[in-house]
Amino acid sequence: MPRIENTGTNVAEYCEESGEGSSTFDICNGCCTQLEYDPHVFDCILSPYNGDPQGIDGYEVGGVHPDYEGERYTCETCFKPLTARDN
């Protein structure tokens, strides 16, 4: 955790038809907590980049992410540096 994925039946249909995956984003634990309360909290901030439509179900936590220790990753919603604590 915390990699989030663009989700919804509309995204699943797009992925099936196109053969592309849905967009994923790396976020910090604090932003992940916000997402648990509102799956659409980041709709205005994050735009799908794989050609997939904005998901009608918002974003879900899922997917394997790189190890943030020693790398320069930032949260894609608040721009805080991601560290081993976010692994």
Numbers of helices and strands, H then E, in the chain: 2, 3
- pTM for the structure as a whole: 0.82
Residue 16: per-residue pLDDT: 94
Tokens 């930032």 map to which residue? Answer: 74
Q: Quote the domain boundaries for residue 16.
A: 3-86
Q: Per the structure, how many domains does the chain have?
A: 1
Work out the pLDDT band at 63, boundaries 50, 70, 90.
Answer: low
Mean pLDDT, rounded, for 15-43: 90
pLDDT at 61 over 90: no
Mean pLDDT, rounded, for 74-85: 87
Tokens, residue 25? 């984003």
CB atoms within 10 A of CB 23: 20
Residue 71: per-residue pLDDT: 73
pLDDT at 85 over 80: no
| CA distance linking residue 8 with residue 39, whole number of Å | 11
Question: In degrees to the nearest 10, what's the CA dihedral of 6, 10, 13, 15?
Answer: -30
* Strand ranges in the chain using DSSP code E only, listed in sequence order: 3-7, 24-26, 58-61
